[in-house]
Amino acid sequence: MHLIWSCSVKTDSKFQRLVASETQQQTVQFFWEGKSYTALAGDTIASALLAAGVDHTRESPQSGSPRAPFCMMGSCFECRVEVDGEHNVQACMNVIQDGMSIQRQSS
């Protein structure tokens, strides 16, 4: 018997937050493109953005196609964002801080 696997493209995020432990209940507020969001203290910027439903963090300078966090370990550089005016911050390698202002990477 052969099993055929099929998948469908869905618009909802596959990134779902696991139930937080009691030690992970402290939250921080951050701003993405001027809109306020809440994250758990200790989250990386990338995981906070994904949990908030952000679908891409920058556009490719060549094609304009949307790019988003991919490897989550600092190798691919797809998660680059602008943080408090600093360009090329790797979102997967930096911890979210209270009051952080994060913008889509422009180039």
Q: How confident is the model at residue 61 (pLDDT cuts 50, 70, 90)?
A: confident
Q: Which pTM was predicted?
A: 0.78
Which H or E run contains 50? helix 45-51
User: Quick one: pLDDT at residue 21?
Assistant: 60
Three-state DSSP at 48 gives helix
11: left (phi over 0), alpha (psi -120 to 50) or beta: alpha
Domains in the chain (CATH in brackets) are 25-104 (3.10.20.440)
Angstrom distances, CA of residue 23 to CA of 57, 71, 73, 103: 29, 26, 24, 29
Q: How is residue 20 written in tokens? A: 């937080």
